[in-house]
Amino acid sequence: MTYGMIHSVESCGTVDGPGIRFIVFTQGCPLRCQYCHNVDTWEFGCGRRVSADEVVKEAISYRSFFEATGGGITFSGGEPLAQPEFLEAALTEAKRHGLHTVIDTAGSVVPKNIDAILDATDLVLLDIKHIDDAACRVLTGRSNANTLAFAKRLAERNIPVWIRHVLVPGITMSEHFLRQTGEFIRTLGNVERVEVLPYHQLGVYKWENLGLAYPLTDVLPPSSEETDTAQTLLESYLC
């Protein structure tokens, strides 16, 4: 039996992959994104201990919703690839039961069993935090090298990908960086969709509850027009 640590689950999610989805939020993340709205998932070694079989069994109880909408199970976080044995076991079990599988990841951790994980993955939601490496280190505490290399690996295996990119005024919201991101996306060939996610401060209370100083207090969310412009720009680079 393979076990993992999870933060929570959402039984009827609609934004983390196609259709209605059962979302498993794993506990633990190596990134420290300045805009993180799930800062309570950062710490490793805490959360609820569950087996891969247990979490898939719970997901199966929503099968009728999946079949009606083209949904399935999504592993998010935290960073699901930071618990590779659990993720592989859960994905494999989900596929054994015919569920559509999604990983929502920043690709900052690429474990040794990544090929086995991808063998049981139907779709990857890949979050490109920042296309500029130096800026990414400031924004997340880590280089973007693993993320970009992971994106190329997914392209080599022709695994469907939805790119996600958080639009942060003064940080990622510049035509220069957006065009760089678009040029990278253009090289891949397996990107089905791009989602520009407007920066927000809805998770600030979690920082405060944990006694952490929120670093982007003075940054306001982008307007709907700015978000739409960025969305249109990045979509223009899709193959």
Q: What is the pLDDT of residues 16-25, one digit of tens each?
A: 999 999 999 9
Angstrom distances, CA of residue 175 to CA of 91, 109, 120, 182: 38, 28, 36, 10
> Residue 219: which CATH number?
3.20.20.70
* pLDDT, tens digit, 9 for 90 and up, residues 6-51: 999 999 999 999 999 999 999 999 999 999 999 999 999 999 999 9
Q: Are 41 and 90 in contact (CB under 8 A)?
A: no
Question: Is the pLDDT score of 199 beyond 90?
Answer: yes
Q: Against a cut of 0.85, is the pTM above it?
A: yes
- Segments forming the whole domain that contains residue 52: 3-235
Counting the structural domains of the chain, the total is: 1
Res 30: pLDDT: 97
Question: Is the pLDDT score of 239 beyond 90?
Answer: no
Res 214: pLDDT: 97
Res 8: pLDDT: 97
Res 192: pLDDT: 98
Question: Is the pLDDT score of 82 beyond 80?
Answer: yes
Percent of the chain topping pLDDT 90 = 99
Residue type for position 149:
A
Contacts of 230 (CB under 8 A, 6+ apart): 165, 167, 173, 178, 196, 222
Res 76: pLDDT: 98
Element (H, E) at 105: strand 100-105
Question: Is the pLDDT score of 217 beyond 80?
Answer: yes
Res 93: pLDDT: 98
Res 174: pLDDT: 96
Span 71-79, mean pLDDT? 97
105 pLDDT band, cuts 50/70/90, is very high
Q: Which residue is listed with tokens 């590779």?
A: 84
Contacts of 213 (CB under 8 A, 6+ apart): 207
Reduced to 3 states, what is the DSSP secondary structure of residue 82?
helix
Strand order, beta sheet including 48-51: 48-51, 3-13, 21-26, 72-76, 100-105, 123-127, 161-167, 191-198
Res 127: pLDDT: 98
Span 170-196, mean pLDDT? 97
